[in-house]
A and B are shown apart, each in its own frame.
Chain A
Amino acid sequence: MKGNDGFEPVRFGGFPELKEAFISGYTDATFILAPLAMKLVEDGVPIKIVYLGHRDGTALMVHKDSGIFRIQDMKGKKIAVPNRYSNQRFLIYKALKERGVKLEEVDLVEMPPPDMPAALYARAVDGITSGEPFMGQTELDGYGRVLYFTKDVWPEFISCVLAVRQDVIDRHREKVQALVDGIAKSGVWLDRDMNNRMQAAQFVARGYYNQDPRLLEFVLSKPPDRVKYTNLNVRRKDFEEIQQIGLESGILYRKIDFLEYADPSFVPPTTSIEGFTFEDAESKEQAAQKGLIR
Chain B
Amino acid sequence: MSLKKAVLLGSVGWLTLISGLHAWLNLGLFRKVGAHAATTLKVGFLPVT
Interface residue ranges, A against B (CB under 8 Å): 3, 6-15, 18, 21-22, 24-32, 53-54, 57-58, 82, 113-114, 130-134, 159-160, 168, 171-172, 175-176, 179, 208-211, 219, 227
Q: Which of A10, A15, A209 is within 8 Å of B42, CB to CB?
A: A10
Chain B 31-49, CB-CB to A under 8 Å as 1, else 0, gives: 0000000111111111111
What is the CA–CA distance of A223 and B47 in the complex, to the nearest angstrom? Answer: 20
**Smallest CB gap from B46: residue in A:** A12
Q: Which of B40, B42, B43, B46 is within 8 Å of A14, CB to CB?
A: B46
Interface residue ranges, B against A (CB under 8 Å): 26, 28, 38-49
> How many A-B pairs fall under 8 Å by CB?
91
Q: Which residues of B contact A53 (CB under 8 A)?
A: 49
Q: Majority SS of interface residues in chain A?
A: mixed
What is the CA–CA distance of A53 and B44 in the complex, to the nearest angstrom? Answer: 12
Task: Judge whether A29 and B47 touch: CB under 8 Å.
Answer: no
Task: Judge whether A131 and B49 touch: CB under 8 Å.
Answer: yes
What is the CA–CA distance of A171 and B39 in the complex, to the nearest angstrom? Answer: 10
Task: Judge whether B49 and A13 touch: CB under 8 Å.
Answer: no
Q: Which residues of A contact B43 (CB under 8 A)?
A: 3, 7-10, 27-31, 179
Given contacts A24-B26, A25-B28, contact A31 B45 (CB under 8 A): yes
Task: Judge whether B42 and A27 touch: CB under 8 Å.
Answer: yes
Task: Judge whether A175 and B44 touch: CB under 8 Å.
Answer: no
Q: Which of A6, A30, A130, A176 is within 8 Å of B48, CB to CB?
A: A130
Task: Judge whether B47 and A211 touch: CB under 8 Å.
Answer: yes
What is the CA–CA distance of A176 and B49 in the complex, to the nearest angstrom? Answer: 21
Given contacts A57-B49, A58-B49, A159-B49, contact A31 B44 (CB under 8 A): yes
**Smallest CB gap from A54: residue in B:** B49
Q: Which among B39, B47, B49 has the highest number of chain A CB atoms within 10 Å?
A: B49
Q: Which of B38, B39, B47 is within 8 Å of A208, CB to CB?
A: B47
What is the CA–CA distance of A6 and B40 in the complex, to the nearest angstrom? Answer: 4
28 residue pairs bridging A and B, Cβ less than 8 Å apart: A3-B40, A3-B43, A6-B39, A7-B40, A8-B41, A10-B43, A10-B44, A12-B44, A15-B46, A21-B44, A25-B28, A27-B42, A28-B38, A28-B43, A29-B41, A29-B43, A31-B44, A31-B45, A54-B49, A57-B49, A82-B48, A114-B48, A131-B48, A134-B48, A160-B48, A168-B41, A209-B47, A219-B49
